[in-house]
Amino acid sequence: MSAVEHRFGPYGGQYVPETLIPALVELEAAWVAAREDAGYRAELDALLNDYVGRPSPLYLASRLSEEAGHAVYLKREDLNHTGAHKINNALGQTLLAKRMGKTRIIAETGAGSHGVATATACALLGLECIVYMGTEDMRRQQPNVLRMELLGARVAPVDAGSRTLKEAVSATIRDWVSNVSDTHYVIGSCVGPAPFPALVRDLQRVIGDEARAQILEKTGRLPDRVIACVGGGSNAIGTFTGFVEDASVQLIGAEAAGEGIESGRHGAPLTVGGRGGVLHGSFSAIMQDEDGQILEAHSISAGLDYPGTGPEHAYLRDTGRAHYAGVTDGEALAAFKRLAELEGIIPALESAHAVAWVLAAGRETATEDTVDLICLSGRGDKDLAEALDKLGLTHE
Amino acid sequence: MSDGATRIAAAFSDSGRRAALMPYLMAGFPDIDTSVRIATAYADAGADLLELGVPFSDPLADGPVIHAAATRALESGATVHSVLEAGTRIAEQIPVVLMVYVNPILARGPERFAAELAQRGISGLIVPDLPLEESEPILAACDAHGVALVPLVAPTTPDDRMATIGRTARGFVYTVSVTGTTGERTSNQSDPATLLARVKDHSTVPVALGFGISNGAQAKAAADAGADGVIVGSRLVRAVAEAVDQGADPASAAGSVVAELADALVR
């Protein structure tokens, strides 16, 4: 039996065209070998420390805590090189691809953070890089498009469907089907066919492992709640994995409720529930109609604008180990602004969903002794134009 | 042999051509009734079987032509129910193999889906994102209802895996001729004879070749290389799209392409 999980309860699997199966087998074998290999681990750890700037700080946000009425710690993934947690996974996978002899790297991006992280890793390692991005996201995240191009990547516009993350993933998978022999697909989240969900989790669990050690050192106790935003769910799964064995720690995933769950314009398949389905190669919680057609998601945050989610999250939900809740565009925008005002930290709109949960639903269920730990998965520079416009704060 | 597999086997053995001709049709494009008329034109032009595509929102194995047709079919209101109803009408004229992505099957449940295909006289099922690893529940449902679950193999499929796939193949083996998505190609990228020989070594059912075959010369070459059947998709979907966009009759446009392919496969 494989050492890498293919299924999390009923979720996961490998629903992909036959052409890709040998590549998934090859990838799984390479990962099993690499993660046991001291040389690979040492190379990755050295880059994470000296290039990315790990460990990222765990910061007691005093003024945010005062506003919330209880202690709130921020795991500062926004301080990583390239400004988000995405670099943890991108470096790990590109190093792996290089070990496998792949010369061409492809990736999808929504908000642009994963695209920038992958373009960065490819520049560092001297690999060709093509990033697929929906044209609506290229508009919303123009600075990241320019960054990727400066880093030597080619940004391939995707003009299908809603021109956002779902279509970018589909276009990247089609490229992989056509160029599988020399190409590795650096998938950006804990989604896709096995072994990707487990591989991405393994590369992102550094967030949770560090955070657990840091909060124990700072406070001598575990947090009561660990909160992270969930689109595909990679920062959340990476954070949760550090605490999943600690039964006293509640795990909270903040999904995009968009314009409101009842409006249908959201990106919250875990919160909404219902029948699971297959999107992008795995069986998980997805947004679909009764025929099994995939629905368009909506979120102000390009990184959460996705109708699927990682299969391990669906399993954590069903088992009750983690709880998922929706945060609207408006709540996320308010938290984006509030964190800037209170702490001098401009969060990514994605991460602002997690902050918003703590300031709203999370505050109602907290006592003054509650300790919350939020994964602040990225910084908000990329979102300035979009967020300021929506907040009505743009100058003429 | 199941009802579906029997009808498919007869279509291959009775074709009288160098290889059985299996054109693809995007159901519901440009609308349901027109797609049934196109199917009739295929049958009249000499098709032996028909691959009926169910439009899907996220067709990972398809290139831009079929993807665009699926999007237009969904926009014009095609549903799984209306496509299956069309399948009933088409199956009265020609053996039908349904091509559908896995999620619409899971949405109804494999058991209900297979039962409905059998009831509608649809002979087989092709699921491009259902590899061997995930096929068991759907294969069991298809077997229980006499519907042939047709597996796919690709140039990247190793021999031992091909042997396993060959053992569970029903109806025929769909051999993907190229490492890529569906779509027309100016030449067959690689020599399909070697690939076809490998598939045939591991299969007791007919072997059909598809992806990238768009004209009579390529169809004849596929037959010469050993294919028992030839599948043509994007070329025909493009013919339909062009006719629709130009206000011409899509049935006669696509029918004439099928006639040309049938001519090329005359013994």
How far is the C-alpha of B146 from the C-alpha of B122, rounded, in Å? 10
Residue B183 pLDDT: 87
Contact state of A177 with B161 under an 8 Å Cβ cutoff? no
Quick check: A178 contacting B, CB < 8 Å? yes
Active-site residue (options: B3, B14, B48, B51): B51
pLDDT at residue A385 above 90? no
Residue B23 forms beta bridges with which residues?
B232
**B60·A170 Cβ contact <8 A:** yes
Residue of chain B nearest A175, judged by CA positions: B180
**Whole-number pLDDT of residue A393:** 82
> Residue B150, Cβ neighbours under 10 Å: how many?
26
Q: What is the H or E stretch that residue A68 is in?
A: helix A62-68
Q: Which of B81, B133, B181 sits opposite A14 (nearest CB)?
A: B133
CA distance B6 to chain A (A): 26
CB contact under 8 A, A160 and B131: no
**CB of B198 closer than 8 Å to CB of B159:** yes
Low-confidence residues of chain B: pLDDT under 70: 1, 187-190
Q: How confident is the model at residue A396 (pLDDT cuts 50, 70, 90)?
A: low
Percentage of residues in chain A with pLDDT exceeding 90? 93
Query: Positive or negative CA dihedral for A371, A375, A381, A386?
Result: negative
Chain A CB contacts of B133 under 8 Å are 6, 13-14, 21
Of the candidates B58, B108, B156, the beta carbon closest to that of A279 is on B58
State yes or no: pLDDT of A115 exceeds 60: yes
Q: How far is CA A394 from CA A340, A343, A388, A390, B53, in A?
A: 16, 21, 6, 9, 49
Q: Return d(Cα A15, Cα A194) in angstroms, integer.
A: 9
Is the pLDDT reported for residue A2 higher than 60? Answer: no
Predicted pLDDT at A18: 96
pLDDT tens digit sequence for A205-250: 999 999 999 999 999 999 999 999 999 999 999 999 999 999 999 9
CB under 8 Å to A265, separation ≥6 — which residues?
Answer: A258, A259, A298
Range of the domain at B202: 3-264
CATH of residue B205: 3.20.20.70
A22–B131 C-beta distance less than 8 A = no
The residue length of chain B stands at 267
pLDDT band at residue A333 using 50, 70 and 90 as cut-offs? very high
Q: How far apart are CA A112 and CA A134, in angstroms?
A: 10
Q: Are A316 and A12 in contact (CB under 8 A)?
A: no
Q: Do A19 and B67 touch (CB under 8 A)?
A: no
Q: What is the mean predicted confidence (pLDDT) over A53-80?
A: 98
Cβ separation B107–A292 shorter than 8 A? yes
Residue A160: pLDDT band with limits 50, 70, 90: confident
Give the per-residue pLDDT at B187: 57
Question: Is the pLDDT score of A71 beyond 70?
Answer: yes
pLDDT for the residue A44? 98
Among residues A69, A59, A75, the alpha carbon closest in space to that of A374 is found at A75
Give how many domains chain B has, as a whole number: 1
Average pLDDT over every residue of A26-45:
97
Q: Decide if A18 touches B, using CB distance below 8 A.
A: yes
Q: Is A293 on the interface with B (CB under 8 A)?
A: yes
Question: What pTM was estimated for this model as a whole?
Answer: 0.96
Residues of B with CB under 8 A from a CB of A: 56-58, 60-61, 63, 67, 71, 74, 79-81, 101-108, 128-134, 151-158, 161, 176, 179-181
> What residues in B contact A19, CB-CB < 8 Å?
154-156, 176, 179-180
Inter-chain residue contact B58 with A170, CB threshold 8 Å: yes
Q: To which residue do tokens 């943890």 refer?
A: A88
The set of residues, in sequence order, having a beta carbon less than 8 Å from that of A226 and lying 6+ positions away, is A208, A211, A239, A240, A243, A249, A250, A251, A252, A372, A373, A374, A375
* Mean pLDDT value of segment A337-363: 98
* Torsion-angle region of A13 (φ positive above 0: left; ψ -120 to 50: alpha; else: beta): left
A293: left (phi over 0), alpha (psi -120 to 50) or beta: beta
Min distance B102 CA to chain A CA atoms (Å):
7
Residue corresponding to tokens 């196109």: B38
Q: Among A17-21, A339-343, B184-188, B245-249, where is mean pLDDT lowest?
A: B184-188
Please list, in sequence order, all residues whose beta carbon lies within 8 angstroms of the beta carbon of residue A68, skipping any fewer than 6 positions away: A358, A359, A362, A363, A366, A372
pLDDT recorded at residue A204: 98
Kind plus residue range of the DSSP H or E element containing A172:
helix A165-178
A15 contacts in B (CB within 8 Å)?
102, 129-131, 134
Phi first, then psi: give them for residue A346, nearest 5 degrees.
-95, 110
DSSP secondary structure of A231-278: SS-HHHHHHHHTTTT-TTSEEEEEEEEET-GGGT-SB-HHHH----EE
Q: What confidence score (pLDDT) does residue A386 get? A: 87
Q: For an interface test with A, which of B134, B157, B174 has the most A Cβ atoms less than 10 Å from its Cβ? A: B134
Q: Please give the pLDDT value at position A1.
A: 41
Q: Does A174 touch chain B (CB under 8 A)?
A: yes
